[in-house]
Amino acid sequence: MTDLTELGVKAIRDGVAAGDFSAREVAEAFNANVEAAQQALNAFIVATPEKAIEAASAVDAARAKGEALGKMAGVPIGMKDLFATKGVQTTAASHILEGFVPEYESTVSANLWKAGAGMLGKLNLDQFAMGSSNETSYFGNVISPWRKAGSNAALAPGGSSGGSSAAIAARLCPAATGTDTGGSIRQPAAFVGISGIKPTYGRCSRWGVVAFASSLDQAGPMARDVTDCAIMLEAMAGFDPKDSTSLNLPVPQWEAGLNADLRGKKVGIPREYRMDGTDPEILASWDRGIEWLKDAGAEIVDVSLPHTKYALPAYYIVAPAEASSNLARYDGVRYGLRDLPEGAGLQDMYAATRAAGFGDEVKRRIMIGTYVLSAGFYDAYYNQAQRVRTLIANDFKAAFELCDVILAPTTPTASFPLGDKVDDPLAMYLNDVFAVPASLAGLPAMSVPWGLNSDGLPLGLQIIGRAFDEQGVLNAGLAIESRAMFNAKPEKWW
Amino acid sequence: MSVTHETVAKIANLARIRMDDAEIAKLVPEFNNILAWVEQLGEVDTSGVEPMTAVIENHLRLRDDVIDADPLTGGGVRDAVLANAPAAEHGFFGVPKVIE
């Protein structure tokens, strides 16, 4: 019998529907993999095998009765621990939320359960989704299942959705939710050789998602291939009156619309992304991607995004500013940790609680955000960054007059060893240099696997599309996927 | 523009994060590195450019003026609201005494 954990979303859904295997068998197989890998990879904060079995049993029962099955029926998934799950601890990988058990379910996770998916557990991440290597979690680092050829050094699975990326690559789940504020779906997907799409801002409800930077945060699926991402995005997306920035638009049938024929499409190559110091292998992978899209029938056009170099500094003003405001809610009063020193008043309790509950990177960003919003600096920093953000969005608008999608690298390097950049915040931030511009403009963007570099590590290619054109992004992704023929997986050592 | 130990201490106080002198001393150079880097935004000519307020054009909606139209965000859920409070008493959030 086939190893069920080698199957993706579509294969599981179709196999369960056809009766080739039961949803329960699938859930049991993945539960076993989750348990066996936990010690070595630390991808999950909490495993919920009983939830996976419960959802699978419901799907098997529905099938037995001949009822219609949902889009994700029988597919067990990992849930990034940033989504509130009723009755299951939700921490954002922080000490300040340790023990927090939501009384409600996030809209995105509720949509997935309604579509027949089940939960294998809550996935580890960078604390409050702040990080690019999954080294800021209070619950320990996630270890990438990948290793450099000839080395046993622990590598970063990317961040912030590092538990999601590691778990999918290691076959602990066929798919997982991610969230992307400045690259947190695409960069980890690229680091482990999987696919992930951040849809247009507003496609997926933010209700019940622990907030980091509200004008940027957007949920999306991570899975082994483009088709699986399309299926899962359909299940996650949709208008939600409880999120004031939710898009009131019907959810397109992305899976049915998949088409890798790019004849008549124009692909833009942004010249500013050819940066000094970029790994030559990354540039070579980009050139190869251009050839693939030509082969798929697309016309390649040169485009310019002149404000690219300012995207990252603008992001590191806007995101911390919003974070400092959002994270003000952690006060030791309503939920989460309370640290009340002997004889302390209310203000001392706030300060002690936040000192004990937040990790170093979270404190650093709250502090930067507080500074750039403080009296006398607001205009010079925050307003200037928001003006630059307008210019970046305008750059994309102008580029999309000339092309339908943009092709770029996802990251400037392959995965790096854990510990390499922890003492240098700026070096860590630079890892998102290619991912952040699309986030600032709210555009759909995805990473698909390209192949392995000379160290045997995965690299990804990024496709950025017009607002609302997830279909164009997925189709270009599919065109790359069908030419890259990426089927490498990490050699099992855990 | 570079920040001093005193400025970082003031920011920590505004952010309500208790920090001792050693922690502040460690943050000062990090802060200055990050600020020096973001200050390159000053090179960009933004005259006549509006600061972004919404990344995707959207309208703020008004919901129907109906009580508890959505039970998830409606009222009457006191115990659920208090369920995760570190010190809930008599149906209220408990805090240390604020009046001396």
pLDDT digits over A453-475, tens only? 999 999 999 999 999 999 999 99
pLDDT beyond 90 at B100: no
Nearest-CA distance from B77 to chain A in Å? Answer: 10
User: Which of A368, A384, A441 faces B46 most closely, judged by CB atoms?
Assistant: A384
Q: Do B46 and A442 touch (CB under 8 A)?
A: no
Active site residues of A: 80, 160, 184
Contact A114, A237 (CB under 8 A): no
Nearest to A218 by CA among A492, A494, A467, A16: A467
Q: Is the pTM of this model over 0.80?
A: yes
Residue A388 has pLDDT above 80, yes or no: yes
Residue A135: per-residue pLDDT: 95
Q: Is A104 on the interface with B (CB under 8 A)?
A: yes
DSSP state string for A409-474: ES-SSS--BTTSSTT-HHHHHGGGTTTHHHHHTT--EEEEEEEE-TTS-EEEEEEEE-TT-HHHHH
Are residues A370 and B51, on separate chains, in Cβ contact within 8 Å?
no
Beta-carbon separation of B44 and A425 below 8 A: no
Instruction: Quickly state the pLDDT bin for B72 (edges 50, 70, 90).
Output: confident
Instruction: Give the pLDDT confidence score for residue B37 in this predicted structure.
Output: 93
Mutation target among A207, A384, A394, A469 for the B interface, most CBs of B within 10 A:
A384
Shortest Cα–Cα distance, A456 to chain B (Å): 33
For chain B, helix (H) and strand (E) counts, in that order, are 3, 2
A 201-220: CB under 8 A from B: 201-202, 215-216
Task: Output the average pLDDT for chain B.
Answer: 91
**Mean pLDDT along residues A70-90:** 98
Give the sheet arrangement for strand A445-452, strand by strand.
A44-47, A118-123, A76-80, A175-180, A218-223, A195-198, A445-452, A458-465, A405-409, A266-270, A299-303
What mean pLDDT is predicted for residues A340-356? 95
pLDDT of residue B62: 86
Whether B16 has its CB under 8 Å from any CB of chain A: the answer is yes
Instruction: Please provide residue A401's backbone torsions phi and psi, each rounded to the nearest 5 degrees.
Output: -75, -25
Subunit contact A103:B12, Cβ cutoff 8 A: no
- Residue A241 and residue B12: Cβ atoms within 8 Å? no
> In this prediction, what percent of chain A has a pLDDT beyond 90?
96
Check A380 against B72: CB less than 8 A apart.
Answer: no
Q: Which of A248, A352, A390 sits opposite B49 (nearest CB)?
A: A390
Domains with residue ranges and CATH for chain A: 4-259+445-454+463-484 (3.90.1300.10)
Bond into A160 cis (ω within 30): yes
Contact flag A387-B46 (C-beta cutoff 8 Å): yes
Mean pLDDT confidence for A114-133: 97
Of A136-145, A301-310, A410-419, B73-82, which range is least confident? Answer: B73-82
Indicate the pLDDT class of residue B61, thresholds 50, 70 and 90: confident
Q: Give the tokens for residue A62.
A: 């529905």
Q: Which domains does chain B have, with CATH numbers?
A: 5-43 (1.10.20)
Mark which residues 50-69 of B lie under 8 Å from A by CB: 50-56, 58, 60-61, 63
**Predicted pLDDT of residue A403:** 98
Closest residue in chain B to residue A374, using alpha carbons only: B11
- Mutation target for A interface from B3, B16, B50: give the one with most A CBs within 10 A: B16
Average pLDDT of span A363-384: 94
pLDDT tens, B19-28?
999 999 999 9
- At B1, the pLDDT band (50, 70, 90 cuts) reads low
**Residues of chain A found within 8 Å of residue B14, distances taken between Cβ atoms:** 370, 374
Residues of A in contact with B97 (CB under 8 A): 345
Window 20-39 of B: residues touching A by CB (8 A cutoff) are 27, 30-31, 33-35, 37-39
pLDDT score of A220 more than 90: yes
